[in-house]
Structure 1
Amino acid sequence: MRINPKPGLSGWTLLVGGLAALVAVPVLVVLGSVFQTSSDLWGHLAATVLPRYIANSFGLMIGVGLGVAIVGVGTAWLVTMCRFPGSWILEWALLLPLAAPAYLLAYTYTELLDYYGIVQRSLRAAFGWRTAMDYWFPDVRSIGGAIVLLTLVLYPYVYLLVRTALIEQSVCTLEASRVLGCNPWRSFWRVALPLARPSVAAGVALALMETLSDYGTVQYFGVDTFTTGIYRTWFGMGERTTAAQLAALLMLFVLALILIEQWFRRQQRYYQAGSQQPRSHYVLQGWRATIAQIACVLPLLLGFVLPAGLLLQMTIDRGLGNTRFWEFARNSLILAILTAAIGVAIALLMAYGLRLRPSRSMLLSVRVAALGYAIPGSVIAVGVLVPLGRFDNAIDAWMESTFGISTGLLLSGTIAALIFAYLVRFLAVSLGAVEASLGRIKPSLDDAARSLGHNSRQTLIRVHAPLMRSGLLTAAILVFVDVMKELPATLIVRPFNFDTLAVRVYQLASDERLAEAAAPALAIVLVGLLPVLLLSWQLQSRDVDPSRL
């Protein structure tokens, strides 16, 4: 994109700048809380629980980072560069764990592995054990259990990016390594992995951001992290300023992670010529094929098939369980549809404004608006509620002093506030899909539309929007599914007695009523399959495999 350093003001510049400023307000509010006067509670937290928050958060990051790197890179190499029985199915199936939020795995595996779960009951019956003192069994509700479950859900981030990098790598480079006598392991270690290292770093960074923003898993397992501390400080202690400062500290962690990832990728920059030449594969047979199958099937089995199967069985046995299921589903659908529609519309306006006025200020505005996706949902929730609360209080005070009427809370605790929090959190998702779709439209079409007398608004409606139909649909689906799965922001911002499927699953699981939570949990998983299948189709369409020609 060519940047015009001095574009001058225009309607599109003001529109994009205004939207970006509005979306950035929650982030700026949280950062600004660092300079506010803290209460005595902050000193108490710093002396008692804050070290535990930091230690547990770092422990999760290290464990999950290593886990997703090993599983994601290993499976991507096996299904992309090797051929063994079932590899063509595993190519797309390994993305399925993305459909299940981590907190759903936490609930299902607790049902399976807890003391009264089917696994331990079977062991006690088989070996005659009577109490927990008779044998040792790992505690799933621990930081180790959280690391394993988060790894099973988040490794597809690394798998997807590394597999894409391997597909796009020049075939000649890998063939040259073979000619020079490299076996598959040495080709992977010395050639393919260094070339894919930026993708590995990006995938691990995405997984770590999701780890830091997780609330349902760590809260259910009793692992104190920043997200649980923010929720506990806000609602349990009623300290909004202290909660905002905890959120600011967590956001600084995330921003540091982003900067480290970008620096790392700049230090490891590789250029390679693309090639459409069909790629040859390492054909695995015998015990090598068996090991490859186990290595690829195991994360898929543990990360999707087993939890989804258990939820399906409980749903069949119990049915919908609660007559309010359709009410929760309706609430989730309303929020997801409205957020997807508004998010795609805003993303389209911002991306088109940047196309028309490609200046540094416009580019900065768009990137600032997309920053929310890197911020945990609990932080976004705090950043939304603080300014909305101040606005409501100011309006109420003015109306009371002027007209003697109390307006109460106009925006706080409403669906509008919740949708705004979703937009701040997920605008980057729709913006990425819309920008990619708009970038594929040739600039000559803009010139042709102008020559026919269309202004920029008419060109967007009559020319670009129809051509971008599939990209807009993709953006809407991605935002829709993210809203359906979002838990921390929904818990904090939602209106009173307005529960979604995700909130209902969390409430029932917290009360140890997982059987009743099975139906809404399964609904979330099924909805989550939509973008996974879309990603799988797009990825397979880019892979040239001579065995399928």
Structure 2
Amino acid sequence: MSSFAAGRLTRRHRIRITPWAALAFAAAALALLPVATIALTATANTGTLWTHVIANVLPQATWNTGVLLLGTGIIATCVGTGAAWLVTAYDFKGRGILEWALLLPLAVPTYIMAYAYLDVLSPLGAIQGGIRWMLGYSSPREFRLPDIRSMWGAVLIFGFVLYPYVYLTTRAMFMTQAANLVEVSRTLGVGRAGIFWRVALPLARPAIAVGVALVLMEALNDVGAAQFLGIRTLTASVYTTWIVRTDLPGAAQIAIAMLIVVIALIVLERWARRNQRFATSAQRARQMVPQKLKGVPALVALGLGALPIIIGFVGPATYLVLEAIKRIEFAGVSPALIRATINTVTVSAIATVVVLVLGFAIAYAARLHPGRATNGAARIATLGYAVPGTVLAIGILIPVAAFDRTLDGLMREWFGVSTGLLILGSGAALIYAYTARFLAISSGGIEAGLSRIPTSYDHAARTLGHSSTSALWRVHLPLSRPALTAAGLLVFVDCMKELPATLLLRPLNFESLATLLYGEAARGTYEDAALAALIIVVIGILPVVLLARMGRTDADRV
């Protein structure tokens, strides 16, 4: 009996290397390589460099980053949670529009919102000019609003762009809370506000923690908005240390500090969700019936719900449309914008295909060979999404540059031909960065799609003589097409919007829409960047529509 148990244990932990498992392990290794490279670089002897970084760079950058994350987290939590409760607990005219419109700021990257409001709220802009006209002032010297190039400006911009992450997770939790909890609270004399503070909010704490963690990681990843607003964050310090000062080791040392912040955020999010099991577990519980509002209360609710949309989407989008129209009327569409659009679509499409293939391999390997090995590979492969783009770029550049140098030396020695920067110069390194960063979106979405396919279909395919690959083409791929489409759309749009990794790993004379916008805004030629920003925002609306449809579908299932 004991030998039989030992045999079962041995077979259980035996790793079966099939093509799908090998591809999943390769994807995990590619995702782990940048992080391992950064860790090894941190242990290297850099002389007095680390002392210089600690004394002159890290204190101010870490303080700015901490203040930015704290302020952004507070605003995103308040706005996202408040908006989620508003559209869940109350019924008023326009509520149906607010439910999906509150997601629209997700279509506007932080650097585009910073770019738009820098021009709109400038001392010579229309808003300050109109205020001075109403107050009877004639010049900015007599009256001007506080400069948005400041920490408070960055906190507001980040908070009103990123709050939908909290809104999404918290609204889903509010919608699944059982109506009987609310009814019991009402019978005990608790009002609607008391229900929110005593019942709904404690139950939604794990969902809020997940949303806030996503908000803080997105804020940490930003480099464009911080540069525009003059905030010296850790991410901006990595960029300037690498590009401006050409100090790659120093940038790697700062990247280590960013990794520590990321780990701290993950640990904090897990700690905040440690008691999530106390949430209701009722099966198919009734939804909470929203309270009907009419008259002035309904107008106030509509105004409160519309305010984040106006600040986070309507204002920047209106500005971009007007500036784009003026630019087209004055100079038409520039060839540089056309080239940048083609570059962006091409690289994003290639990266999306690679991400989908690897994501499907990870999810399919976990389905075919469930166990610690495949589950571990899946977790490692999703590591890149938590790592800021600048850190990934540092971790990718070092091994890729070493490979390019080695290959070029061998080709010169053996064949007398120089390959130059084969991977860096061709854009393959940029596709690698996109793949490592967004593989979590693909594998997670596809895994969710495959989980809805009963395993009996696999057994039926096997009994009919189909291999795992044949069953994939005939069964799993057709049935998981909606999950593939959704994951591909999300990955494609995220690749188009990615700025830090694109700035640091793009080939020479290569411009994407994001880098073109960044360059024009850095030079102060805002009108030239309006079209690029508008294209990014318009395409960014597509996943928002997808998320809104998914939210309505989930609501119908509750």
SS of alignment partner, residue 49 of structure 1: helix
Residues 1:340 and 2:352 are matched in the alignment: yes
Q: Which runs of structure 2 are paired with 1:129-278 in the superposition (5 Å)?
A: 129-272=137-280, 273-275=282-284, 277=286
Aligned to 1:313: 322
Give 1:402 shift: 4.4
SS of alignment partner, residue 413 of structure 1: helix
Given candidates 507, 513, 536, the residue that maps to 1:501 is 513
Q: Which runs of structure 2 are paired with 1:451-490 in the superposition (5 Å)?
A: 451-490=463-502
Give 1:515 shift: 1.2
Given candidates 392, 409, 419, the residue that maps to 2:421 is 409
Q: Distance in 1 between matches of 2:30 and 2:167?
A: 35
Residues 1:98 and 2:106 are matched in the alignment: yes
Q: Distance in 2 between matches of 1:269 and 1:500?
A: 45
Q: Distance in 2 between matches of 1:240 and 1:196?
A: 43
Give 1:135 shift: 2.5
Q: Distance in 1 between matches of 2:333 and 2:228?
A: 22
Give 1:540 shift: 1.5
Residues 1:364 and 2:358 are matched in the alignment: no
Given candidates 114, 118, 133, the residue that maps to 2:122 is 114
Contact 2:102 2:164 in 1 (8 A): yes
Q: Distance in 2 between matches of 1:545 and 1:295?
A: 28
Contact 1:73 1:162 in 2 (8 A): yes
Contact 1:105 1:149 in 2 (8 A): yes
Give 1:43 shift: 2.4
Question: Residues 78-102 of structure 1: CA distance to partner in whole angstroms, max 9, x if unpaired?
Answer: 0011112211110110000000001
Aligned to 2:526: 514
Contact 1:7 1:357 in 2 (8 A): no
Give 1:289 shift: 2.3
Residues 1:418 and 2:427 are matched in the alignment: no
Aligned to 1:390: 402
SS of alignment partner, residue 318 of structure 2: helix
Give 1:23 shift: 2.1
* Aligned-pair Cα RMSD in Å: 1.8
Question: Residues 5-61 of structure 1: CA distance to partner in whole angstroms, max 9, x if unpaired?
Answer: 514322133332122112211111112211011243432232223211000000001
Task: Please list every run of at least 4 consecutive aligned residues from structure 1 whose deviation after the TM superposition is greater than 6 angstroms.
Answer: none
SS of alignment partner, residue 425 of structure 2: coil
The letter of the residue matching 1:317 is K
The letter of the residue matching 1:455 is S
Q: Distance in 2 between matches of 1:15 and 1:333?
A: 26
Which stretch of structure 1 is more off in the superposition, 121-130 or 184-193? 121-130
Q: Which runs of structure 2 are paired with 1:11-90 in the superposition (5 Å)?
A: 11=18, 12-90=20-98
Aligned to 2:367: 355
Given candidates 331, 336, 345, the residue that maps to 1:324 is 336
SS of alignment partner, residue 543 of structure 1: helix
Give 1:523 shift: 0.6
Aligned to 1:294: 303
Give 1:129 shift: 2.6
What are structure 1's unaligned runs of at least 5 residues? none
Question: Residues 112-151 of structure 1: CA distance to partner in whole angstroms, max 9, x if unpaired?
Answer: 1111111122233333434444224111111110110001
Q: Distance in 1 between matches of 2:350 and 2:477?
A: 19
Given candidates 313, 316, 319, the residue that maps to 1:304 is 313
Give 1:393 shift: 1.5
Q: Distance in 1 between matches of 2:509 and 2:493?
A: 22
Contact 2:348 2:492 in 1 (8 A): yes
> Given the two structures, how large is their TM-score scaled by the length of structure 2?
0.94
Residues 1:10 and 2:10 are matched in the alignment: no
Give 1:486 shift: 0.5
Contact 2:344 2:512 in 1 (8 A): yes
Aligned to 2:5: none
Contact 1:168 1:274 in 2 (8 A): no
What are structure 2's unaligned runs of at least 5 residues? 1-10
Q: Distance in 2 between matches of 1:502 and 1:180?
A: 55
Which stretch of structure 1 is more off in the superposition, 526-535 or 256-265? 256-265
Q: Distance in 2 between matches of 1:351 and 1:209?
A: 24
**Gap change, CA 1:194 and 1:506, over 3 Å in 2:** same
Aligned to 1:378: 390
Q: Distance in 2 between matches of 1:331 and 1:228?
A: 25
> Given the two structures, how large is their TM-score scaled by the length of structure 1?
0.96
Contact 2:113 2:316 in 1 (8 A): yes
Which stretch of structure 1 is more off in the superposition, 517-526 or 24-33? 24-33
Contact 2:65 2:233 in 1 (8 A): yes
Q: Identity over aligned residues, as a percent?
A: 42
Residues 1:127 and 2:139 are matched in the alignment: no
Q: Distance in 1 between matches of 2:296 and 2:12?
A: 61
Give 1:345 shift: 1.0
Question: Residues 490-527 of structure 1: CA distance to partner in whole angstroms, max 9, x if unpaired?
Answer: 01001111101111111111111111111111110010
Give 1:255 shift: 1.4
